[in-house]
Amino acid sequence: MKIIKEIDALQSIADYYRATFKTIGFVPTMGFLHDGHVSLILNARKDSDIVVVSIFVNPTQFGPNEDFEKYPRDFLRDFHICKSSGVDYVFLPERNTVYPENFLTEVKVKSITDRLEGKFRPGHFTGVATIVNKLVNIVKPHYLYVGQKDAQQAVVLRKMAEDLNLDLKVKVCETMREETKLAMSSRNSYLTKEEKSEASVLYEALTEGKKMINDYKVTDANAVMKFIENFIKRKSKNLILQYLAITDNYLMQEIEDLKNYEGEVVISLAAYLGKTRLIDNIIFSYK
Ligand code: PAF
């Protein structure tokens, strides 16, 4: 496994593999890797000849009062995880390699990014779309792997790839969960054992919501959301819901009544547990 820090070096490596008809699978990350990332890497390993992982805590996707400074970082640990998962190249750029002085360009996916996460984290998805666009121009992958855990990020990146005719396929991989069913996230390192167990109520509530729709055939999205909200309130003293939405999985538009709807449904939420902000979702086909 090689660590690459310079853009032109990785671009030359990518050109070589593309010229020799090898496929490149790419997993962009902000490091502090967990089993969710490992699952993305293993999927990439299965599909591609060459696997590239990037590790870069991207400042432009954090708001001014968010946790950029305190975001967990441990490169040595990440290095071992990448090596033992079969990664070929780790891209580990410095901040000024990615954003040199006078960097002026942004990639903005409109409309989808005004809702849900975007509403509470203005500018977040522009930061994500810009960095991922840059990274795919550097890594030149055939496949880009992202997790379903960040449902809206996956939708935004898929739309960006579609709209900008990126020469790659976005592959969205299943959310990995801890034993308690809490969705794996680097930010779970902010939680105590007790908090982790309390946070698992979120997925329990989402699962109950899905049951209401699929098993009990409730089509009124507001009724389902009210139920989920009450479920969380009943089961947890400390979880504070920030948003809850039932949407499609293409533009993340809210579905009011599922009666005439057909396709993938995503129930997404964000909640605070103390100072830690958690997101989770459940996705399923309807009808
Ligand atoms: O999901 C993440 O870790 C980040 O948003 C990503 C895709 C690596 C971009 O910085």
Report how far ligand 1's centroid is from the alpha carbon of 216 (Å).
36
Mean pLDDT of 54-60: 98
**Ligand 1 pocket test, candidate residues 58, 68, 150, 156, most atoms within 8 A of CB:** 58
14 and 153, same structural domain? yes
55 and 99, same structural domain? yes
Distance (Å, whole) CA 246 – CA 277 = 19
Q: Is the CB of 132 under 6 A from ligand 1?
A: yes
Segment 10-42, tens digit of pLDDT:
999 999 999 999 999 999 999 999 999 999 999
pLDDT value of residue 65: 93
Q: Is the CB of 128 under 6 A from ligand 1?
A: yes
CA distances from 134 to 61, 159, 165, 167, 284 (A): 14, 16, 14, 13, 31
Q: Is the CB of 151 under 6 A from ligand 1?
A: no
233 and 151, same structural domain? no
pLDDT value of residue 9: 98
For ligand 1, atom 5, which residue shows the shortest CA distance? 128
Structural domain contains residue 44: yes
258 and 235, same structural domain? yes
Active site residues: 37
**Ligand 1 pocket test, candidate residues 26, 27, 30, most atoms within 8 A of CB:** 30
Residue 56: which pLDDT band, with cuts at 50, 70 and 90? Answer: very high
Domain boundary among the residues 145, 173, 201 is at 173
pLDDT value of residue 14: 98
Q: Smallest Cα–Cα separation from 29: which of 105, 84, 122, 93?
A: 93
pLDDT value of residue 93: 98
pLDDT value of residue 264: 98
pLDDT value of residue 282: 98
Q: What is the pTM of this model?
A: 0.97
Structurally, how many domains does the chain consist of? Answer: 2
Q: Is the CB of 98 under 6 A from ligand 1?
A: no
200 and 67, same structural domain? no
**Ligand 1 pocket test, candidate residues 52, 125, 128, most atoms within 8 A of CB:** 128
Structural domain contains residue 178: no
Segment 182-238, tens digit of pLDDT:
999 999 999 999 999 999 999 999 999 999 999 999 999 999 999 999 999 999 999
Mean pLDDT of 79-94: 98
Q: Using DSSP bridges, classify how beta strands 24-29 and 50-55 pair: parallel, antiparallel or unpaired.
A: parallel
Q: Is the CB of 144 under 6 A from ligand 1?
A: no
Please provide the average confidence, as pLDDT, over all residues in the chain: 98
Mean pLDDT of 74-84: 98
